[in-house]
Amino acid sequence: MSLNFKHFELIEMLQQNCSFQEIIKKSNLSERNIRYQIDELNDELKSDYKIKVNKNDITLNNNFSCLHDIFKNFEKIFYSYSSQERIDLIIFKTLLKKESININRLSKELDITKPTLRNDLKKLKIYLEKFNINIIQKENSIYILKYNDLDLCYFLSSYLNKYENLAFNNFALKKMSFFNLQIHDLFLEFFSDSYETLKNIRKNFSYTISDNSLNLFFCFLIGIIKFCPKLYFKTNQDFYLNSFEYIEIISKMNEFSQNQKLVITDFLIGLSYTKSNPLIIFNNWINIEIEIYKSIVSFSKSYSINLIHDKILMNELINHIKPMIYRSSKKIFLENSIYNEIVEIYENLFYTIKSSFNNLERNLNFIISNEEIAFITLMFHRALERNSLKKPIKKIAIICNYGLSASKFLEDRLNNTFYIETTKTFSLNEFYNLDFSYFDLIITTINLRNHSCNIPLVKVSPLLNEKDIKSLKQFNFKKQREKICFDSFVKDLKNNNLNFDKNKLKDFIFNNYSNFFIENDNAKSFDNNFIEKDLFSYGNCKDISEAITLSCKPLLEKNYINKSYLESLISPISLNNPNLFIGKTTIFPHAVNNNNVFSTKFSFLKLKEPIVINKNKCNFIITFC
């Protein structure tokens, strides 16, 4: 039996006390597949570590408290490496050990075929070239690596930063997993002669810097200790010799040569721009600030908001982008653990910023990674919150290609969530001839990311989910007044011994103040109006047509639709709609109401096993009529 990283991800989730449903959601696997994986794990685990599976729950043995012990319980030969894991092992076994790449030896060590290994080497070659490290074929099965030791140290800072946490005295793994533990063991073995030196430096090092940058610094430092590169540093020596960073280094790191200390100072300054350190190491530092300013101007035009005079934003961007340019020049990449979450919550803001910085990348000749853009997104989000009061949102254009019913539903959801003076819905064709000056915001269900309209544009789901509402809250909407429940209002009046005719009061209120009252708590309830318990179903289907037909069954039975609406849902035009998917595994089939829909409703179908639609897996269907 060969285990792979999926099995060990499952172990990590179990150790975190994740429920069955949480594991299904995180792993994007079916319940059946997860049960298979548990059976495969139990085949390899000793009796002390067996995983018990009940009907709807998973029980761990108490011995599961230490993942390190679990991983040590497996023989490495039973682990099936991913391509990226094999590449990282090749780096450790050849590049860091300064050995040639022997195809015959490595294929046996990694237990893979030679063609597979050669394919991995092609990927590795492209990756290492970014760091000025070249793989050159010497003989049929032998490759050599060509580089200088300083470039190797720069590479090492990024490579080790993925796995090792050297920023604290108790050096440890960043994340426990079976493969990461192997890398950690290789690290301790290979750097054993450098490890104590680094620990002593770390113990006395007091320079203030972010944890991520500090870890990059020590990953770089252990490379300098290990490889002792011969260096000659001559650029801006006077600046470095008088810097606070150099003083800190010479007082704590006597084991390095003068040139090595200058290189280490350069690296530390490049990671840690501060006001006291003007970074004159950048020959074009004035151009950098001009390009940052122009990027803010570009963003301001896209969002129709003036952030040009926001000094906080300008300073935050300078403090981040100058070290970022340095890191980019050395091919050092910061990790952003919340990158996916930022893109998910602030998708429109993220891509607008990415577009606004295109000219900066082109003019300064470097590329900003998506992880760096995510950091910058948070800066702009704070700037929008600081400045949003200047531009209230009153008039909204809705661009929707889901048909009249869905457009009306989205419009009602917006009006019930936010106070909006005007909402108008347009088709995609109408959008291209729209007078944007009339509107404060465009809300679209279509991807219009590359279209410039000079006012803020936000893409949402036609259902306007919680993620969409959170994204829209960055704008200055007037809060929607909560309506008073009439029945509760009457009850409070009676509790205060007030005598009145309930029917007369009701007529008076709803004739004159209907904007402030609802008849009862459920009168405007989304759930009660559109969703009924018996419109939920669960089943297995072989294809998309069968799944949509099954999801429509309760709608047909209750006469909410007729058969012609179902036929339009499973027509080739509807099934090939690029907006069919509204999530990673959720589809939203819909069609135009041609007098074949008699009530606005949703039905829900959860598939026991996912079906494949245009190479994407689907396990949840929301049918709208």
* pLDDT tens-place string over residues 360-390: 888 878 788 888 898 899 899 888 877 764 5
State which of 80, 99, 128 marks the end of a domain. 80
Q: Would the pLDDT of 479 be above 60? A: no
Tokens 């390190």 — which residue? 68
The mean pLDDT of 518-527, rounded to a whole number, is 49
Range(s) of the domain holding residue 597: 530-624
**Which DSSP symbol is given to 208?**
-
Tell me the torsion sign for CA atoms 165, 170, 171, 176.
negative
Whether residues 118 and 220 fall in one domain? no
Judge whether residue 469 has pLDDT over 50: yes
Contact 580, 593 (CB under 8 A): no
Same domain for 352 and 255, yes or no, is no
**If you average pLDDT over each of 74-88, 105-119, 158-172, 286-300, which comes out highest?**
105-119
Confidence (pLDDT) at 280: 43
Is 538 found in the same domain as 519?
no
Per the model's pLDDT, the better-predicted residue between 502 and 122 turns out to be 122
Same domain, 447 and 558: no
Q: What is the CATH classification number for the domain harbouring 91?
A: 1.10.10
Instruction: Choose one of 259, 279, 299: the last residue of a domain.
Output: 279
Measured CA distances, 567 to 219, 538, 552, 573 (Å):
61, 21, 10, 11
Question: Alpha carbon of 116 to those of 93, 110, 133, 315, 480: distances in Å?
Answer: 17, 10, 22, 49, 60
List pLDDT tens digits, range 244-291.
888 888 888 888 888 899 888 888 877 765 444 444 444 455 677 888
CA-CA distance, 163 to 184, in Å (whole number)?
7
CATH number for the domain harbouring residue 457: 3.40.50.2300
Pairing of strands 476-479, 392-393: parallel
259 and 173 share one domain: yes
Give the Cα separation of 556 and 625 in Å (integer). 11
Looking at the fold, whether 70 and 88 belong to one and the same domain comes out as: no
448 and 433 within one domain: yes
- The total number of structural domains that make up the chain: 7
What is the DSSP track for 182-203?
A: HHHHHHHHHTHHHHHHHHHHHH
Q: Between 10 and 225, name the one with better pLDDT.
A: 225
For residues 462 and 492, membership in a common domain is answered with no
- Tokens found for residue 524: 């405007």
- Examine the fold and report which residue of 223, 256, 279 is the final residue of a domain before the chain moves on: 279
Verify that 114 and 158 share a domain, yes or no: no
- At 423-459, the pLDDT tens digits run 888 887 788 778 877 888 888 888 776 566 667 788 8
More confident residue, 135 or 585: 135
Note whether 588 and 540 are same-domain residues: yes
Kindly report, residue by residue over 86-127, the tens digit of the pLDDT.
999 999 889 888 889 999 999 988 888 999 999 999 999 999
Do 154 and 38 have their domain in common? no
- Over range 578-588, report the average pLDDT: 76
pTM of the entire structure? 0.55
Indicate which CATH number applies to the domain containing 543.
Answer: 3.40.930.10
d(CA 409, CA 403): 10
User: How confident is the model at residue 71, as a pLDDT?
Assistant: 59
Q: Do 261 and 302 share a domain, yes or no?
A: no
Q: What is the 3-state secondary structure (H, E, C) of 216-237?
A: HHHHHHHHHHHHCCCCCCCCCH
257: amino acid identity, one letter? S
Q: What percent of the chain has pLDDT over 70?
A: 80
Q: How many CB atoms lie within 10 A of CB 259?
A: 15
Report pLDDT for 209: 76
- Residue in the structure block whose two tokens are 């012609």: 564
